A and B are shown apart, each in its own frame.
Chain A
């Protein structure tokens, strides 16, 4: 079955440093979504990418979808304490479901 791998599992950064999490699928995806889950909270949708090589930005967050539609990344520039949480990628492959990665837990040291 489809698998989505996400690395790293944990990342500790000093406030102001950049952060990147990577997502790799075992199969070609039709789309990829990114979610953020704050500590004690629930996943909240951030963005969806559907086109090969697509890049989208949301303020300090940059999302990329690979040319082969098998990988994606989320980059945060100049992290802030409000960025703390777990970031999940989720791949869609034309079925009913999204396949979620294990997530990257981001800690930001003030």
Chain B
């Protein structure tokens, strides 16, 4: 059973809608991540947070806005998305930031933008 939960699991939205994805980790980790997983592409890291502070932003369009109110919760606010933003959005956590830490993934939110 995963210690990282995500809601909603599925989301369909129009290009003018505003929605938010939620992630919660119950593992006591200090780092949280948002990834985008599209067909035929590698996992794309979007944002990294360490103890609620954003430490990495990989040139993600401003229509994606992350929020990390505490080390257990992570949000991804979405507005005026494009159809090419349709993908599986995965949240992950790790004990600390750094590529040597094992990452624990949530089940993902399957997003469809119409």
Which residues of chain A have a CB within 8 Å of any CB of chain B? 4, 30-31, 33, 41-45, 48, 50, 88, 90-103
Chain A residues closer than 8 Å to B40, beta-carbon distance: 102
A46 closest partner in B (C-beta):
B102
Q: Is the pair B100, A96 in contact by a Cβ cutoff of 8 Å? A: no
Interface size on B, as a range, is: 20 to 34
- Using known A-B contacts A43-B105, A96-B48, determine if residue A101 contacts B42 with beta carbons closer than 8 Å: yes
Chain A nearest CB: distance from B112 CB in Å? 16
Chain B nearest CB: distance from A38 CB in Å? 11
Measured CA separation A108–B99 after assembly (Å) = 31
What are 29 A-to-B residue pairs whose CB atoms are below 8 Å?
A: A4-B42, A31-B99, A33-B102, A33-B103, A42-B105, A42-B108, A43-B103, A43-B105, A45-B103, A45-B104, A48-B100, A90-B43, A90-B99, A91-B99, A93-B99, A94-B99, A95-B98, A95-B99, A96-B48, A96-B50, A97-B48, A97-B56, A97-B58, A98-B99, A99-B42, A100-B43, A101-B42, A102-B41, A102-B42
Chain B nearest CB: distance from A23 CB in Å? 11
Chain B residues closer than 8 Å to A103, beta-carbon distance: 42
Chain B nearest CB: distance from A41 CB in Å? 7
Answer yes or no: B90 CB below 8 A from chain A CBs.
yes
Number of residue pairs spanning A and B whose beta carbons lie under 8 angstroms apart: 61
Measured CA separation A102–B108 after assembly (Å) = 18
A41 closest partner in B (C-beta):
B107
B55 closest partner in A (C-beta):
A96
- Given A42-B108, A45-B104, A97-B45: 11 more A-B contacts, CB < 8 Å: A31-B99, A31-B100, A33-B102, A43-B43, A43-B90, A92-B99, A93-B99, A96-B99, A98-B99, A98-B103, A99-B42
